[in-house]
Amino acid sequence: MTDGTLTWMTGVKTLATHVVPTINAAATAAGRPTPRVVCSLPISVTSDVADTRDTVNERLAIYGTLPSYRAMLDREGADGPADVGLFGTREQVLEKLHELAEAGVTEFSASMAGGADDRDEPTTPSSNFRRPSASSLARQLGVLELVQVDTMVIMASSVVMRPTDAAGSSLGSLM
């Protein structure tokens, strides 16, 4: 038995209608507590959504060809990886995070997307090296708390976060 699942390239519709109900029903049938559902998707606070989408579809094209990921993209009605990503203004990205919480996602692991020039975030070049900054994304979204996940391996470029509004109130059940 497991205490949850970690998804990648699985959009909100598929999480809400397939993944979360299936894993919750299995846990209930086994007399186990509600499992954790960690969702990892490409994410970028950007004013250039089209360029970010193009970059994501180019860099992550392999996922549209692998059967297990293709199956989840097909359930979602997605042509490619960018169709499940979270891109846009701060408010648009927060709304997408709310949708994930409403779908039953308990944690979100951010996979920084797009090129450094596409993101609307401050970056500090170090020896001409600009790297996506998960903590910068967290600041942009108003995330006040970063949470370390002790039982899962999260991608090195990711951070698990609990989004909050400007007043510091939790936005849904994402952890």
Place of tokens 């090195």: 156
Cα–Cα distance for residue pair 143/107, rounded to 1 Å: 13
Cα–Cα distance for residue pair 128/150, rounded to 1 Å: 33
Low-confidence ranges of the chain (pLDDT < 70): 1-2, 114-175
Residue 145 backbone dihedrals phi, psi, to 5 degrees? -135, 125
* pTM for this model (two decimals): 0.71
Give the other-Cβ count within 10 Å of 151's Cβ.
Answer: 8
CB 88 within 8 A of CB 141: no
Helix residue ranges, H only, the chain: 12-14, 20-29, 49-59, 67-76, 90-103, 134-141
Among 107, 106, 64, smallest CA distance to 84 is for 64
Quick one: pLDDT at residue 141? 54
Give the other-Cβ count within 10 Å of 49's Cβ.
Answer: 17
Quick one: pLDDT at residue 120? 58
